[in-house]
Amino acid sequence: MKKLITLAALVGITMGTSLVASAEIVRLPPSNITAVLIDKENFGGCMAQVDIDVSETAPACGGSYITFDCDGDFQDPTIGSRFLEMAQVAYVTGKGMRFSVDTNLQHNGFCVATRADLK
């Protein structure tokens, strides 16, 4: 009987931990901004297109766009706005950027940036 209770407890713990989504932060290769997008209803409000295929490094993420979550669904909207400002500076000056994205946080199939470095 004790073995059965122990087994049931282990199964319960295993099932409980497998249902919890953990953040998978992926560091993308350096890239250049090729477009900036602001949308009233989609994509978390704002995003940028980069000159790399994001899905090659982070298969769960779509295409060559990264969302900054300016609407604030996953992080403070101020952070998203700052990411957008950095992307605009990079776009205008031709400077490169490097992003980290969370593959579990997405808007319309595009991953949310969690870090941005202006190079």
Q: Is residue 114 part of a domain?
A: yes
Of 51 and 20, the structure prediction assigns the larger pLDDT to: 51
* 4 has pLDDT over 70: no
Q: Is residue 7 part of a domain?
A: no
pTM as predicted: 0.80
Q: Give the mean model confidence (pLDDT) for residues 101-114.
A: 97
Q: Is residue 5 part of a domain?
A: no
> Distance between CA 109 and CA 14 in Å, rounded?
29
> Distance between CA 81 and CA 68 in Å, rounded?
7
Q: Give the mean model confidence (pLDDT) for residues 87-101.
A: 98
Angle at 25 between CA 52 and CA 82, to 5 degrees: 70
Q: Is residue 17 part of a domain?
A: no
Query: What pLDDT sits at residue 21?
Result: 55
Q: How many CA atoms lie within 13 A of 63 on its CB side?
A: 11
Domain count for the chain: 1
**Of 112, 110, 36, whose CA–CA distance to 72 is shortest?**
112
- Please report, for the domain that includes residue 83, its CATH number: 2.40.50.50
Q: Which phi and psi (to 5°) does residue 22 adopt?
A: -110, 145
Query: What pLDDT sits at residue 13?
Result: 47
Rg from Cα positions in the chain = 18
Query: What pLDDT sits at residue 71?
Result: 97
> Distance between CA 82 and CA 78 in Å, rounded?
6
Q: Is residue 57 part of a domain?
A: yes
Q: Is residue 10 part of a domain?
A: no
Domain range for residue 31?
Answer: 23-118
pLDDT in tens, 47-85: 999 999 999 999 999 999 999 999 999 999 999 999 999
Q: Is residue 11 part of a domain?
A: no
Q: Give the mean model confidence (pLDDT) for residues 81-93.
A: 98
Q: Is residue 67 part of a domain?
A: yes
